[in-house]
Amino acid sequence: MAIEPGIEWLLVTSPYTACHKEAGYENPVESYLRRGEIRIVEGSSTVKIDDNYEKWFFVKEGWIPENCARIFSNKLRAQTAKSELR
């Protein structure tokens, strides 16, 4: 279903995004996603990187940093945004 309360959808916005085993760039890469792929967000975590904090999202392939994706409250919005990606 496209609209479900409490479920968030992730749209990959980077051309090629690494999915890490755990949240954080130093962790092993398990898989990759390409721009325009849409996934259900299964979890999130905030990770300290140097002096800053960065949010990461977990999808079935692994952990993705927030700067490589956009989050939507429903799949229809994610699909609309996908059609506007360049």
Domain boundaries, the chain: 9-84
Residues 19, 4: Cα–Cα separation, whole Å = 25
**Does position 5 have pLDDT exceeding 70, yes or no?**
no
Strands 9-12, 69-72: parallel, antiparallel or unpaired by DSSP? antiparallel
Per residue in 34-72, pLDDT (tens digit) is 999 999 999 999 999 889 999 999 999 999 999 999 999
**Short-list 32, 12, 29, CA closest to 21:** 29
Please report the pLDDT score of residue 3 as a whole number.
56
Please report the pLDDT score of residue 1 as a whole number.
47
Please report the pLDDT score of residue 86 as a whole number.
75
CATH code linked to domain 9-84: 2.30.30
**C-beta of residue 19 within 8 angstroms of C-beta of residue 29:** yes
Q: How far is CA 63 from CA 3, 6, 82, in A?
A: 23, 19, 20
- For residue 79, count other CB atoms closer than 10 A to its CB: 15
